[in-house]
Amino acid sequence: MADIEALAARVRAASHLTGTFLLRSGRTSTEYFDKYLFEAEPALLADIVEAMAVHLPPNTDLLAGLELGGVPLATLLSARTGLPARFVRKKAKEYGTRRIAEGGEVEGRRIVLVEDVVTSGGAVLDATRVLREQGAVVEDVLCVIDRQEGGRERLAEIGLTLLPTLTRADLDAAR
């Protein structure tokens, strides 16, 4: 527990901002955890990925990082675990392969989604729908921060288990 408390304090110190912020969910918040600030620090990012790896389900075939913040996390987690990675765009690119999931096939593979911050779960829901349409088995989501604003519950409605490294409560306790 002390390790998680220390990690929460480091993540909070690196990324906690105050002001007025529009979230992806459409809600406004007076606090924001800027994932790019903790993802841009190599030592902190490595420690975050080490803590995330503990939650990785043993039957995982692939990691899938969601654009944009989930990509560096999935990349490092892939290097740490040896599991192949895929990268899920917000929308398919309009040229070249025109894929939404880059890096190889997903059909029939058990994929764990990798996300930075989950608030309402909207980006995860979108990615899950697309990957399942392509034949992937998606049941678990690793994230750095669960803001505890309904995302876990929304994900559970479609059979997803959220596996956060840190929660909003952890970050609040680290003040």
- In the annotated binding site, the residues are 24, 89-90, 93, 115-123, 147
Contact yes or no for 136/111 (Cβ under 8 A): yes
Helix axis angle for 42-53 and 2-15, nearest 10°, is 140
Task: Show the tokens assigned to 35.
Answer: 């994932």
Binding positions for 5-phospho-alpha-D-ribose 1-diphosphate are: 24, 89-90, 93, 115-123
Contact yes or no for 65/40 (Cβ under 8 A): no
Query: Residue 101: beta bridge partners?
Result: 88
Within its chain, how far is the Cα of 104 from the centroid? 20
The answer to whether the Cα torsion of 165, 168, 173, 174 is positive or negative is positive
Binding positions for orotate are: 119, 147
Closest C-alpha among 132, 129, 83 to residue 106? 132
Task: Show the tokens assigned to 114.
Answer: 């990798």
